[in-house]
Structure 1
Amino acid sequence: MGAVTPSSPLTSAHTPRSAHPPKQDRSRATRQRLLEAAVACLAEHGWAGSTVSVVAERAGVSRGAAQHHFPTREDLFTGAVEYVAEERSAALRALPGQGRAEVVAALVDLYTGPLFRAALQLWVAASNEAQLRPRVTELEARVGRETHRIAVELLGADESRPGARETVQGLLDMARGLGLANLLTDDTARRARVVAQWAALVEEGLG
């Protein structure tokens, strides 16, 4: 057997490089923690109670580190909503092949959890914050288009048929409304009946 060289796998485990994640990986992990903390803070405390300092503390990083990734409060929270959008799209894409009733239920579920609650808090803030409004408006329009596109795909909707596009859009509007109804009280029982009815309407509307 030849001599072990510094680049040998037998010695690489003992080098400083393997003892700590690369700087780029640590930076990415910090950014991820900040985004997750921002979503949680928005969902729990709303815009007024969600400052950069509060988010940084929750993420376990310094305020300076938070501002390194997100120089302004608007950067942080619009980034958080974009993260919400990506998570929502990923959840939709991850749905296995299912019938339309299951897809309808899954779409509604996306609007009744903490991700939707956080996004809603930012929409409300954007209605009163001039510097935030255009960023949130543009982002929400992009998210809406993407959600509609994925819903069409999952439902197997043929939008060349009259009324098909409106059926899908009506479903998404209904899901958003159920998410709002669930903010103050647990609406699970009533929601289940509404979802079942809408699943029947979607089946009829899409053929």
Structure 2
Amino acid sequence: MTTVREPKQDRSRVTRQRLLEATIDCLAELGWAATTVAVVAERAGVSRGATQHHFPTREDLITAALDYMFDNRMAQARVEATALPAGEGRTEAVIVRLVEYFTGTMFKAALQVWTAAAADPALKERIVPLENKFGRVAHRTAVHLLQVDDKDPASHQLVQATMDLARGLGLADVLTDDSARRNIIIRQWATTLDSRVKRLPTTDS
């Protein structure tokens, strides 16, 4: 019987993906200090040598993991957009999704790295451009989902305030379940947003 071997390039891609996903899980569950190359490699079921072949340093591994997971999350958001209500209730549904991002595993992992970078100039130098990218792409995604005219200065600021609100609610959820208060705030902010932002003109199909 002939054994069909997976192409080397595909094996390498799968190994890399397992390492990146394991890194995010370790950061969210164990924290920055405990997320070592050895711990990630063991969780991913990959040898330390193979791990360092893909990511020579711990910082390479962690920054790549954040970038990978963020890109995946934004791609998922674009797919989820097709299920959003077209009219009434859309704004609240979008804000709920934004807040879910900031209360999820990805944000908890990023928070560990952001905190470590605040006290480590070398790490900070690597993380700041990544954070700037995250901010730009997340803002554009929110604008798209909310169907807002981002060229209107007031609407632009309101979308940014929405992102800041979602981040703050995510921080409030780190230590305790803040869901009851969070849901009230989301509904109130959705009402405010609907009354204040300038929407893009709609065209009849």
Match of 2:128 in 1: 137
2:159 counterpart residue number? 168
Q: Does 1:59 align with 2:44?
A: yes
Q: Structure 2: which amino acid aligns with 1:20?
A: R
Matches within 5 A, 1:157-196: 157-196=148-187
Q: Could you report, residue by residue, the CA deviation over 1:118-142 in whole angstroms, capped at 9, with x for unpaired residues? A: 0111111111122211111000101
C-alpha separation between the residues in 1 aligned to 2:112 and 2:73?
16
> In structure 2, what is the equivalent of residue 115 of structure 1?
106
Tell me the TM-score normalized by structure 2: 0.90
Of stretches 94-103 and 72-81 in structure 1, the one that deviates more from structure 2 is 94-103
In structure 2, what is the equivalent of residue 88 of structure 1? 73
Which residue of structure 1 aligns with residue 29 of structure 2?
44
Q: CA separation in 2, counterparts of 1:187 and 1:87?
A: 26
1:46, 1:118 within 8 Å by CA — same for their partners in 2? yes
- Matched residue count: 192
1:72 aligns with 2:72: no
RMSD: 1.2
One-letter identity of the residue aligned with 1:105 = V
The match for 1:199 among 190, 197, 200 is 190
How far apart are the structure 2 equivalents of 1:162 and 1:28? 43
By how many angstroms is 1:172 displaced? Answer: 0.3
Give the ranges of 4+ consecutive aligned residues of structure 1 lying more than 4 Å apart after TM superposition: none
- CA deviation map 1:105-160 (0-9, x unaligned): 11111110111100111111111122211111000101110010111111111123
| Deviation (angstroms), 1:91 | 2.3
Distance 2:61 2:73 in 1: 18
Q: What SS does structure 2 have at the residue aligned with 1:185?
A: coil
Shift of 1:25: 0.6
Structure 2 unmatched ranges of 5 or more: 199-205
Q: Deviations over 1:188-207 (max 9, x none)?
A: 11111111111111111214
- Max radius of gyration: which structure? 1
SS in 2 for 1:163: helix
Give the 3 Å change call, closer, same or farther, for CA 194–64 of structure 1 in structure 2.
same
Q: Which moved more, 1:86-95 or 1:25-34?
A: 86-95
Among the aligned pairs, what percent are the same residue? 52
| TM-score, with structure 1 as normaliser | 0.89
